């Protein structure tokens, strides 16, 4: 079965509209698709309608940014109710933090002689829940850098002139929010946090204790070593294994939409935790 439980649309830092994303998923014969934009569910109604047209089972989702021991961690919520009050308030709060961060980055860039205010304004015009990716794309559009990667390397990345440390809600509140919105909390791309094996185990243990139910195990772009470690963590902490591409845009070959990846032996498929609701 082709499933993809981690994707982005233009409602966050993806480049396709939700309907375009669903059309691409249909081309790739995806049968179950979750839209998990950063800190917003703005695209879910459009994606749901498009999935209904294409006969794809849609899973309303979100990828929430939070903090654990001073580090930025991402938690995917699957099967969450789009209009849930606490979740909507959380999204509003995160959008405010993101807008403030964007403006702070703009101010820093202005100190280096760039049109930081203009960049921030144009990035915000594109997305109400802006990410640094939106700023990077504006820099490319204006010919200030050759690529999005160069924008991070020169201006936006850690330790660069436009780096602004932002504060995110704690992991506990994030898991609580997803669970209270009827969803399943999944720890996203754990291999990308640059944590030591011991600290990563502590994160997984605490995530489970707080009510987390899943771990992304079969991801596009993981090497065999990472895949093996993620599977071992899922088994050890009895977390169900999720499958997703973290797709953002066509043309990034290491994050292909709907890539079929079989879950390793002994890992419970996360799909079994989601309510059955065929389109």
Q: Does 246 bind Mn ion (CB under 5 A)?
A: yes
**Does the protein bind Mn ion through residue 13 (CB under 5 A)?**
yes
Only one residue has tokens 């780096």, namely: 163
At closest approach, how far in Å is the CB of 192 from Mn ion? 8
In the block, which residue shows the tokens 């094996």?
A: 197
- Nearest to Mn ion of 113, 251 (CB atom): 251
With respect to Mn ion, which residue has the nearer C-beta, 98 or 208? 98
Using CB under 5 A as the binding rule, whether residue 74 contacts Mn ion is answered as yes
Residue 216 interacting with Mn ion (CB under 5 A): no
The token duo for 200 is: 């990563």
Q: Which is nearer to Mn ion, 72 or 92 (CB)?
A: 72
Distance CA 64, CA 151 (A): 24
Strand order in the sheet with 240-244: 3-4, 32-35, 57-68, 71-78, 184-187, 214-219, 240-244
Per DSSP, the three-state class of 87 is helix
98 is an interface residue for Mn ion by CB under 5 A: no
- Pick the closer one to Mn ion by CB: 187 or 240: 187
Under rule CB under 5 A, residue 37 binds Mn ion: no
Region binding Mn ion by CB under 5 A among candidate stretches 138-146, 180-188, 253-261, 267-275: 180-188
Number of Cβ within a 10 Å radius of residue 245: 25
What is the chain's length? Answer: 279
Binding site for Mn ion (CB under 5 A): 13, 63, 74, 188, 246
């Amino acid at each position: 079965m082709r499933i993809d439980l981690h994707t982005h649309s233009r409602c966050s830092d993806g480049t396709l509209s939700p309907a375009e994303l669903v059309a691409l998923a249909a081309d790739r014969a995806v049968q179950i698709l979750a839209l998990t934009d950063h800190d917003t569910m703005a695209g879910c109604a459009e994606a749901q309608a498009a999935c209904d047209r294409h006969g794809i089972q849609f899973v309303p989702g979100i990828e929430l940014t939070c903090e654990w021991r001073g580090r930025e961690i991402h938690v995917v919520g699957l099967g969450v109710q789009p209009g849930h009050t606490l979740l909507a308030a959380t999204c509003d709060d995160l959008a405010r933090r993101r807008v403030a961060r964007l403006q702070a980055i703009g101010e820093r860039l202005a100190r280096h002689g760039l049109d930081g205010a203009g960049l921030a304004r144009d990035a915000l015009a594109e997305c109400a829940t802006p990410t640094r990716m939106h700023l990077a794309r504006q820099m490319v559009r204006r010919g200030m850098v050759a690529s999005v990667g160069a924008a991070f390397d020169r201006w936006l990345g850690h330790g660069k002139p436009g780096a602004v440390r932002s504060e995110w809600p704690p992991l506990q509140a994030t898991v609580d929010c997803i669970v209270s919105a009827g969803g399943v909390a999944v720890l996203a791309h754990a291999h990308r946090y640059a944590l030591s094996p011991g600290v990563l185990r502590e994160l997984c243990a605490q995530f489970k204790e707080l009510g987390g139910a899943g771990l992304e195990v079969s991801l596009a772009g993981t090497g065999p070593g990472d895949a093996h470690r993620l599977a071992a963590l899922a088994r050890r902490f009895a977390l169900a294994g999720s499958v997703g591409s973290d797709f953002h845009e066509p043309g990034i070959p290491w994050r292909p939409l709907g890539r079929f990846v079989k879950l390793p032996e002994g890992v419970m498929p996360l799909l079994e935790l989601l309510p059955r609701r065929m389109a």
